[in-house]
């Protein structure tokens, strides 16, 4: 699975590119991957959808920045 920080980076990029439609675009990508049989890819995009929603709320649940 992809690292949390990468999920949030992808969520930020999606928000920058698609604005208010970012979560819809990400969900559509997740659905398309699932239709193609890519379960893992779909799961990553579902995580990005959740991260987009969290970023909009100003919360970063589950993100650890410990080095």
| Arithmetic mean of pLDDT, 11-20 | 96
**Helices 22-35 + 39-57 axis angle, to 10:** 170
Structure tokens at 7: 């999920």
DSSP state of 67: -
| Arithmetic mean of pLDDT, 28-51 | 98
Could you tell me if 26 and 45 are in contact, meaning their C-beta atoms sit under 8 angstroms apart? yes
Structure tokens at 38: 């890519």
* pTM score above 0.85: no
Structure tokens at 53: 């929603």
Q: Write down the pLDDT at residue 44.
A: 97
Tens digits of residue pLDDT in 18-34: 999 999 999 999 999 99
């Amino acid at each position: 699975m992809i690292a949390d920080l990468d999920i949030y980076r992808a969520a930020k990029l999606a928000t920058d590119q698609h604005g208010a439609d970012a979560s819809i675009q990400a969900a559509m990508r997740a659905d398309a991957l699932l239709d193609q049989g890519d379960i893992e890819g779909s799961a990553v995009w579902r995580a990005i959808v959740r991260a987009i929603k969290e970023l909009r709320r100003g919360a970063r649940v589950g993100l650890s920045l410990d080095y």
